[in-house]
Amino acid sequence: MSRGKKTVERVMQLMNQPECIRNIGIVAHIDHGKTTLSDNLLAGAGIISEDLAGKACWMDSDEEEQARGITIDASNVSMVHEYNGKEYLINMIDTPGHVDFGGDVTRAMRAVDGAVVLVDAVEGTMPQTETVLRQALKERVKPVLFINKVDRLINELQVDEMEMQIRLGKVIDKVNKLIKGMNEEMYNNGWKLDAANGTVAFGSALYNWAISVPYMKKSGISFKEVYEHCKKGEMKELGKKSPLCEVVLDMVVSFLPNPKEAQPRRIGVIWHGDVNSPEGKGMITCDPNAPSCLMVTDISFDPHAGEVATGRLFSGKLSRGNEMYVMGTAKKVNRLQQVGIFMGPTRVEVPELYAGNIAAVTGLKDAIVGSTVSSLMEMTPFESLEHYSEPVVTVA
Ligand code: GDP
């Protein structure tokens, strides 16, 4: 069986098991390495070739698929990751790296439950790190931290092992100060980042290696070994012993919430309707049998299928032919034409899609970005998408 076909089957099996789903985004200041990290994760999942990772953008890499009429969507990818003998479906939503795209970061954060905050080890946190982190916390999106470009600390700045630990510790402390300053309640309730418990990993997206405390225990590799391999320039070996995608996706699966865990916390913040109504209860419990509630976070144009609305399905299920309503418009029926999800970077039609997933549908002719779409003719819409373009509070 081809790798692509295998992915499709695995994704289909996982998409109706919310416990096995992680909807995530990578957020970072520009140039800190988000594209390089994303490419590496995709290469690890077999979606692009390892040679391409870090060199070329996967998004333009698949002309063959386009020629066959399958849509490549640049902003969403799904991967299957195995952890402790179990498979997980990881839906990764792209967040633009430039501050001008603040609105897009906001939309992406509405669709996900967890964020990998990426910080350059040499530069440390930057204003945009602060902005995207604030946006994540506002949407009750849980952060983990990846400190990138650690190779530069060793090979360019020539720091010794001790100094390296001190520098990494400083980055973690700074991010923790930001989290505490932005949302003390969540910080005190388990969102404080801690390398010892595994919510922080560090490495080099360019050279395809990473390390975390849980991965050191799992693989037997020590901090000293990592340091020495890197110092000697043995990047390939390090990438084999401690591959970036394993370390980062293990961290995602272990510490970022699945939709069932996340929705009870998030719904009260992003939706101000009656939590005891059928749709309120349905969204809080991520119930596939409740009324369907979808928040549209992106609209793209597909040359074959027309307008494709992407969004987070918080409750219910969707299938072709369903009658839906777009809140805030004349109550006209919008009939779903295609219902799909992203498998790798391609959009594939599925017979039915369940609560907790990222949906890609056609037929919602009245929807715009930010629309609340429901099987109910009327429901309270989601809170409008607002974004910060400037950090509001600066923590020293
Ligand atoms: P983005 O703007 O956050 O998407 O950043 P990119 O992924 O485009 O990376 C910006 C630059 O940093 C590129 O020149 C990358 O090759 C480089 N880069 C990314 N990750 C690493 C790393 O781990 N080590 C080093 N030395 N350079 C890196």
Please give the distance, rounded to the nearest whole angstrom, from the Cα atom of residue 371 to the centre of ligand 1.
Answer: 35
So what's the pLDDT on residue 102? 52
**The pLDDT of residue 279:** 97
CA of 300 relative to ligand 1 center, distance in Å: 27
Rounded CA-CA distance 23/92 in Å is 6
Q: How many helices (H) and strands (E) does the chain have?
A: 14, 17
Q: Strand pairing of 372-374 and 323-326?
A: antiparallel
Give the atom of ligand 1 at the shortest distance from the alpha carbon of 38. Answer: 7
The reported pLDDT for the residue numbered 2 is: 55
| Per-residue CA distances from 247 to 136, 160, 243 (Å) | 22, 23, 6
pLDDT at 60: 38
Instruction: Give ligand 1 pocket residues (Cβ under 6 A).
Output: 28, 30-36, 97, 148-149, 151-152, 204-206
pTM: 0.90
State the closest ligand 1 atom to the C-alpha of 203, by its place in the atom list counted from 1. Answer: 23
Quote the ligand 1 centre to 33 CA distance (angstroms). Answer: 4
What is the C-alpha separation between 380 and 252, in angstroms, rounded? 32
Task: Give the Å distance between the CA of 165 and the centre of ligand 1.
Answer: 21
**SS3 breakdown of the chain: % helix, strand, coil, rounded to 5?**
40, 25, 35
User: What does the alpha-carbon distance between residue 6 and residue 14 come to, in Å, rounded to a whole number?
Assistant: 13
* 155 CB-near residues (< 8 Å, 6+ apart): 230, 231, 233
- The confidence score (pLDDT) of residue 68 equals 36
Ligand 1, atom 14, residue with closest C-alpha: 31
The residue whose CA has the least distance to atom 24 of ligand 1 is 149
Confidence (pLDDT) at 9? 76
Given ligand 1 and candidates 27, 34, 36, which is best to mutate, with the most ligand atoms within 8 Å of its CB?
36
* H or E, element range at 255: helix 244-255
Q: Show pLDDT as tens, one digit a residue, over the chain (396 residues).
A: 455 556 677 788 899 899 999 999 999 998 999 989 988 888 777 665 555 444 433 333 444 444 333 333 446 788 889 999 999 999 988 765 444 445 567 788 899 999 999 999 999 999 989 998 999 999 999 999 999 999 999 988 999 999 999 999 999 999 999 999 999 999 999 999 999 999 999 999 999 999 999 999 999 999 899 999 999 999 999 999 999 999 999 999 999 999 999 999 999 999 999 999 999 999 999 999 999 999 998 888 888 888 999 999 999 999 999 999 999 998 899 999 999 987 666 788 899 999 999 999 999 999 998 999 999 999 999 988 765 554 444 444
The answer to whether residues 233 and 155 touch, using CB atoms and an 8 Å cutoff, is yes
User: Could you tell which of 30, 31, 94, 244 is best to mutate to test the pocket of ligand 1, judged by most ligand atoms within 8 Å of the CB?
Assistant: 31
Ligand 1, atom 28, residue with closest C-alpha:
206
Contact at 8 Å (CB) between 76 and 47?
A: no
